[in-house]
Amino acid sequence: MKRPTVLALLILSFLPIARAPAQPPADCPDWTPLAVPASWEKGRGGILDAYDGVAWYRCFVRVPAAWRGETLYLELGQIDDLGAAFFNGVKVGESAAPEPASRFEVPMRSYPIAPEHVRFGQANLIAVRVQDEGGYGGILTHPARLCSRLGRIHLEGTWLFRTGDDPTWAAWPNDAPSAAGQADAFFQRAGQQFGQTVASEPLAGTELLEETGDLAFQMVAGADRFLLDKTAESIGRRQRHWRRDTTSPAAYAASVEPNRARLARIVGLRDERRAFDAPSLVATTRRDALVGRGAGYSIYAIRWPAFGGVSGEGLLLAPEREPLAEIVAIPDADTTPEAFVGLRPGVSPESQIPRRLAESGCRVVVPALIDRSLEKRGGVQLTNREYLYRSAYELGRHVIGYELQKILAVVDWFERERGQRERAIGLAGWGEGGLLALYGGALDERVGGVLSSGYVDARQDLWQEPMDRNVFGLLDEFGDAEIASLIVPRRLVVEAARGPEVTVPPGLGGAPGRIVSPEIGRVRKEVARAEAILGPLAKSHPVTLVESGAGAGPCGSREALAAFLASLAPGARLAEPGPTPTPLGEPADAARRARQVAELDRHNQELLAESPDVRTDFMNKLRFDSLEAFLKSAAWYRETFRDEVIGWFADPLAEPRPRTRKVYDQPLWSGYETVLDVWPGVFAYGVLLVPKGIPEGERRPVVVTQHGLEGRPEKTIRGKLGAYRNYGARLADEGFVVFAPQNPYVFGDRFRTLQRKANPLKKTLFSIIVPQHQQITDWLKTLPFVAGDRIAFYGISYGGKTAMRVPPLVQNYSAVICSADFNDWVWKNASSRSKYSYVGTIEYEIFEFDLGSTFNYAEMAALICPRPFMVERGHFDGVSSDEAVAYEFAKVRHLYQARLGIGDRCEIEWFVGPHAIHGVGTFEFLRRHLK
């Protein structure tokens, strides 16, 4: 397996990652005690400096006689890289292949063991062969347990370990006991005994949990199905956003203006465009601006101001006579303007749309788009489009919006140039250019006609397209048909043609994605849907569908270009194709591409610098005369946070139907796996720890302990090492009721694609998590031993992200601790300069639309206020710098202390340590505010 990146390890545990040169297997030639789960290397809890190769684990477990006849299941977490498991010498399961690059995508292993292979009432041998191909090796994560229908035996603890490879190690040693009576002596020689059984019994008042397998995996799969169902339903639900008046073209255009404005907002069309007299010619002392000549037109390299410090660049095809029409012809993102006009190879002559329109007498501008080439950014490889998208999205902008601004800046120029002349303006594009032509025509009524080729399609698979096409809330209100309907009563020509085929592969660090050529049946259906939306207007203002080669032919067919030209200049005739233009000099593609990326990157960083003032203006409705006035004024912000940032499903919560199963029996507390229904197919899952000996009638406070990225509830309960330091179990030891939920940010791309599916619906991953926590806390309040008004949230890392997003909307939480996450969140997500930034990491799901203008962590904390709030911060936590944490926390402290006079409810603990639970000041905080 590829060695983990520094940032990935920081997020997992912030333990040292330095590795010594590989050592020979002789490092551990004999059976040696080793903790499970953990790596066999010292960097993550092991005993070797470094080792890549094969090693074996063994442990011995006494299976109760009462389980006789039962099928057992050996459940193991992540094995890096390959694993094979044996029970009493019989192979019971193995990895089919090395785990994927995002190695957390696989569920836990659950290997069935037939009763005939089990020594009931006696000692049994479990052996695991592990092959590591690089990086950390071993049985790395929870769980490790042996289960049956009747109970389970935890296997976390000390196993025997040795390097090397010998298949006989799967079988019983030669001195194995031949009788049950010898088992105790054998266990004593072999190491830790495993055999303490926890009987499967439910918590009083609940059903017995009988589901088996990886409940976390099943939970993520249920959320996935739910989001796909909601995506399918979105088409029928869009009508609620529209108030179409089809009595006349003018009435219709006015009636859809609110929809036009919302589309502009979600694609980030917000910056004021710069006025300019005319584009500048791009020339140097060595290169002339005239870069080509064709039949009746000349081609110039040009640049024009767009917005801020951003310019558009491309080519101008200037006809020798008075222009017939003004056109922006937009290529696909991976097609250069030079190739699109025929100056460079890459586009067949029949598809050189700008050239064909210039030959027909039109003045044509061909903008350069941000391409999809992969570049090294931080620790990952990103397309240029995704790189710019990441910062822009966090700041309420979008690479789509940026390119529309450049195109519409040309439309501004065309508008000024034509003056009183009746010269129409048109947009034509293919692939990504087809998207921009469609959107541009929908957003700007000065555009008289649109040709969109190789793009229009059903958009229900938007989540599979490249990340730079992710538009927050798009499918909630718009598909291609709805966007097309915004162009009417102007003319739209849809060309069903072969589109670009693009694959952004997984494993590079960016979001995987693909673009496929639209299938003709889907194109026809989307056009028919647009006409159905238009109703009676479709008869007088139809959408023209042209099929090139039954939808698989080249773009720029004669029929499509003729229909487009006729929409702009009635009576105009498409000229016969002339020769391809003659190049004059070498265009500077690479320098132009670099300039375009750098300009947008700078613009993003300028927006980031301005964003604190934007948020201050946004929050100016808060009132501080009293706590009552503050809470009343915060209600609007809470609703905005819920609906516009997190995203809210209006579906009512299901009856929880609690199912539980005892999984821990410790001296001071018992633990129960718990499943609660949330919506059909969606459930909440976690582990409830109940202190023993609670007097009848006494109600105890609850602490919800939330794991981090790729975590499990067990991480907060078992194991003193690493980031968690078994803080859930320690709180239960103190007498708190503890609930450790399973949040869905687990299994790599499986959970990240939940975000991809949610975003187009105007939802996020937390649109699932918030209702899960609402159901959890509602149920906890019904338990006879729970003080329902004293439920605290304590989350670490991604659980700290949860701490900032869930309690503002789940009022059952009476106190909140954010551990190992609190910082200047917008800066962390949008900065392309900081080493702490997410812009150059694998977390492609992390970016949230327009937080820069609305809610940073201080503003989220204002939605938690006046409830007690605490931050736990290790000085060496790589999440952020101390300065950035203090900067953001100072605003929270100012709110609590200076504005509201409740400073005793707000605090931060700094400790010398890494990305981890400290559990000192936070425990005191919980004692003070919950007991």
Q: Pick from 557, 582, 605: which residue ends a domain?
A: 605
Tell me how far CA of residue 526 lies from CA of 159, 229, 455, 481, 613, in angstroms: 60, 19, 11, 6, 43
What is the span of the domain harbouring residue 127? 6-200
Which region among 499-513, 577-591, 886-900 has the lowest average model confidence (pLDDT)?
577-591
CATH number at residue 349: 3.40.50.1820
- Which of 146, 102, 150, 149 minimizes the C-alpha distance to 126? 146
What is the per-residue pLDDT across 130-149, written as a single tens digit (0 to 9) for each? Answer: 998 888 899 988 889 999 99
What does the pLDDT average to over 155-171?
92
Shared domain check, 399 and 532 = yes
Assess whether pLDDT exceeds 80 at residue 539. yes
What is the per-residue pLDDT across 3-53, written as a single tens digit (0 to 9) for each? Answer: 444 344 333 333 333 333 333 334 567 889 999 998 999 877 889 988 999
- Report residue 196's pLDDT band, with 50, 70 and 90 as the boundaries: confident
Q: Report the alpha-carbon distance of residue 56 to residue 512 in Å, rounded.
A: 35
- Report residue 79's pLDDT band, with 50, 70 and 90 as the boundaries: confident
What does the pLDDT average to over 598-627?
98
Q: Quick one: the chain helix, strand, coil %, rounded to 5?
A: 35, 25, 40
Residue 449, strand partner residues: 426, 491
Residues 761 and 472 sit within 8 Å (Cβ to Cβ): no
What is the per-residue pLDDT across 630-676, written as a single tens digit (0 to 9) for each? Answer: 999 999 999 999 999 999 999 999 999 999 999 999 999 999 999 99
Q: What is the pLDDT of residue 133?
A: 84
Shared domain check, 301 and 180 = no
Q: Report the alpha-carbon distance of residue 718 to residue 9 in Å, rounded.
A: 20
Tell me how far CA of residue 274 lies from CA of 329, 405, 409, 620, 853, in angstroms: 21, 10, 8, 29, 22
What is the per-residue pLDDT across 296-335, written as a single tens digit (0 to 9) for each? Answer: 999 999 999 999 999 999 999 999 999 999 999 999 999 9
Q: Is residue 634 one of the residues assigned to a domain?
A: no
Residue 542 DSSP SS3: coil
711-717-723 Cα angle (round to 5)? 55
Q: Pick from 200, 229, 264: which residue ends a domain?
A: 200
Q: Report the alpha-carbon distance of residue 435 to residue 428 in Å, rounded.
A: 10
Burial of 342 (0-12, 13-18, 19+ CB in 10 A): buried
Residue 842 DSSP SS3: coil
Q: What is the pLDDT of residue 731?
A: 98
Q: Report the alpha-carbon distance of residue 646 to residue 763 in Å, rounded.
A: 6
- How crowded is residue 309: how many other Cβ atoms within 10 Å of its Cβ? 12
Q: Tell me if the pTM is above 0.95.
A: no
569-573-577 Cα angle (round to 5)? 125
Q: Report the alpha-carbon distance of residue 325 to residue 340 in Å, rounded.
A: 19
Shared domain check, 249 and 184 = no
Dihedral sign, CA of 583, 586, 588, 590? Answer: positive
Question: Percent of the chain, pLDDT > 70?
Answer: 93
Q: What is the pLDDT of residue 178?
A: 53
Question: Percent of the chain, pLDDT > 90?
Answer: 86
Q: Is residue 736 one of the residues assigned to a domain?
A: no
Place of tokens 């129960």: 672
Q: Which residues, including other chains, have CB under 8 Å from residue 18's CB and lie 6 or more apart?
A: 43
Tell me the two tokens of residue 182. Answer: 């010898």
Shared domain check, 480 and 425 = yes
Shared domain check, 269 and 190 = no
Q: Report the alpha-carbon distance of residue 180 to residue 91 in Å, rounded.
A: 23
- Which of 13, 2, 1, 11 minimizes the C-alpha distance to 721? 13
Residues 194 and 186 sit within 8 Å (Cβ to Cβ): no
Residue 803 DSSP SS3: helix
Tell me the two tokens of residue 647. Answer: 């995203």
Half-sphere exposure of residue 311, counting CA atoms within 13 Å on the CB side? 16
What does the pLDDT average to over 439-468?
98
- How crowded is residue 247: how many other Cβ atoms within 10 Å of its Cβ? 11
What is the per-residue pLDDT across 81-114, written as a single tens digit (0 to 9) for each? Answer: 778 999 999 999 998 765 544 444 567 889 999 9
Q: Is residue 144 one of the residues assigned to a domain?
A: yes
Residues 740 and 713 sit within 8 Å (Cβ to Cβ): yes
Q: What is the pLDDT of residue 277?
A: 95
Q: Is residue 14 one of the residues assigned to a domain?
A: yes
The four Cα atoms 672, 678, 683, 686 give a dihedral, to 10 degrees, of: -30
Q: Is residue 496 one of the residues assigned to a domain?
A: yes
Residue 795, strand partner residues: 706, 818
156-162-166 Cα angle (round to 5)? 115
Residues 452 and 493 sit within 8 Å (Cβ to Cβ): yes
- Which of 597, 646, 612 minimizes the C-alpha distance to 389? 597
Residue 39 DSSP SS3: coil
Q: Pick from 552, 575, 605: which residue ends a domain?
A: 605
Shared domain check, 319 and 458 = yes
Tell me the two tokens of residue 486. Answer: 């915004």
Q: Is residue 635 one of the residues assigned to a domain?
A: no
Shared domain check, 296 and 180 = no
Domain total of the chain: 2
Q: How far apart are the first and last CA of the chain?
A: 48
CATH number at residue 113: 2.60.120.260
- DSSP characters for 550-581? TTTS-SS-HHHHHHHHHHHSTT--PPPP-PPP
Q: Is residue 858 one of the residues assigned to a domain?
A: no
Q: Report the alpha-carbon distance of residue 874 to residue 909 in Å, rounded.
A: 8
Q: Report the alpha-carbon distance of residue 841 to residue 863 in Å, rounded.
A: 29
Q: What is the pLDDT of residue 464?
A: 98
Shared domain check, 263 and 175 = no
Looking at residue 41, the DSSP 8-state letter turns out to be: B
The helix-helix angle for 384-394 and 399-418 (nearest 10°) equals 90
Q: Report the alpha-carbon distance of residue 358 to residue 343 in Å, rounded.
A: 14
Dihedral sign, CA of 713, 716, 718, 724? Answer: positive
Tell me how far CA of residue 122 lies from CA of 66, 144, 207, 282, in angstroms: 11, 20, 32, 84
Give the chain's mean pLDDT: 93
Half-sphere exposure of residue 874, counting CA atoms within 13 Å on the CB side? 20
Residues 74 and 113 sit within 8 Å (Cβ to Cβ): yes
Shared domain check, 391 and 308 = yes
Q: Is residue 793 one of the residues assigned to a domain?
A: no
Tell me the two tokens of residue 32. Answer: 């040696």
Tell me the two tokens of residue 276. Answer: 């300019």
Assess whether pLDDT exceeds 70 at residue 766. yes
| Beta strand residue intervals within 556-615, DSSP E | 582-583
What does the pLDDT average to over 143-164?
93
335-339-341 Cα angle (round to 5)? 120
Residues 127 and 172 sit within 8 Å (Cβ to Cβ): no
Shared domain check, 67 and 15 = yes
Dihedral sign, CA of 146, 151, 153, 154? Answer: positive
Q: What is the pLDDT of residue 172?
A: 82
Cis peptide before 271 (omega within 30 of 0): no
Phi and psi (nearest 5°) for 147? -125, 155
What does the pLDDT average to over 816-838?
98
Assess whether pLDDT exceeds 80 at residue 475. yes
What does the pLDDT average to over 377-391?
98
Shared domain check, 332 and 190 = no
Q: What is the pLDDT of residue 190?
A: 58
- Report residue 77's pLDDT band, with 50, 70 and 90 as the boundaries: confident
Tell me how far CA of residue 272 lies from CA of 278, 286, 605, 625, in angstroms: 18, 35, 17, 37
Tell me the two tokens of residue 368. Answer: 């350069």
- DSSP characters for 426-489? EEEEETHHHHHHHHHHHH-TT--EEEEES-----TTGGGS-GGG--TTHHHH--HHHHHHTTTT
Shared domain check, 158 and 57 = yes
